């Protein structure tokens, strides 16, 4: 029988980015989401370049590499589902299918390497707001609105299978 250990509940941040589901968006969606796993790709995002410059002006000791690394490590995954809905537009009700991209951020045992600890919860809003939603808005450039929903005060509990070392 497998042996599991309960981790948590612990603080988490949960965000959903909601945008219309359109076939022409799939390539951009894949690019934006895959870029979250690449420090090199994050450095190319205009928001990241602007933020680095602002942070360096405010603090000459700002560690650009550590900051980029923390953004990359914080965005460890996402889920996508679709949802049908209706909203009221100026011309009347409109039915629309949307994509919902869900991110759950939490601190974990591997939140730090050596003396550098990544604050995933603090990094989470920058990631969702600028590395995902703003990129969709700017690079798709046609939608009136792209929504970000933040769920207040969620907690996360994980049943984690013990390995031989933990037993």
Q: Give me the residue spans of the domains in the chain.
A: 4-166
Placement of tokens 């928001």 in the chain = 47
Q: pLDDT band for 47, please (50, 70, 90 cuts).
A: confident
Q: Quick one: residue 114, left, alpha or beta (phi over 0 = left, psi -120 to 50 = alpha)?
A: left
Whether the predicted pLDDT of 116 surpasses 70: no
Token digits for 139? 């690079």
The model's pTM: 0.80
Whether the predicted pLDDT of 54 surpasses 60: yes
Class of 4-166 in CATH: alpha beta
Q: Which of 69-73, 81-85, 156-160 has the highest mean pLDDT?
A: 81-85
Q: What is the H or E stretch that residue 55 is in?
A: helix 46-58
Select from 125, 122, 120 the least CA-distant residue to 149. 125
pLDDT digits (tens, 9 = 90+) for 130-166: 889 988 988 888 888 899 999 978 889 989 888 765 5
SS3 at position 21: coil
What's the mean per-residue pLDDT of the chain?
Answer: 85
Whether the predicted pLDDT of 72 surpasses 80: yes
On whether the CB atoms of residues 72 and 36 are closer than 8 A, the answer is yes
Give 136's Cβ-side CA count (13 Å radius).
27
- The mean per-residue pLDDT over the stretch 11-22 comes to 92
């Amino acid at each position: 029988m497998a042996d599991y250990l309960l981790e948590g509940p612990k603080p988490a941040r949960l965000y959903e980015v909601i945008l219309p589901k359109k076939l022409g968006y799939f390539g951009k969606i894949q690019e934006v989401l895959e870029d979250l796993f690449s420090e090199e790709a994050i450095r190319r995002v205009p928001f990241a370049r602007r933020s680095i410059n602002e942070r360096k002006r405010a603090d000459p000791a700002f560690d650009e590499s550590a900051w980029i690394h923390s953004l990359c490590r914080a965005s460890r995954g996402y889920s996508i589902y679709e949802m049908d809905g209706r909203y009221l537009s100026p011309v009347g009700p409109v039915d629309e299918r949307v994509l919902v991209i869900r991110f759950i951020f939490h601190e974990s045992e591997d939140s730090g390497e050596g003396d550098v600890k990544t604050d995933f919860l603090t990094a989470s809003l920058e990631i969702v707001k600028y590395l995902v939603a703003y990129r969709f808005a700017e690079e798709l450039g046609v939608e009136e609105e792209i929504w970000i929903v933040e769920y207040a005060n969620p907690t996360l509990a994980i049943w984690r299978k013990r390995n031989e070392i933990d037993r």
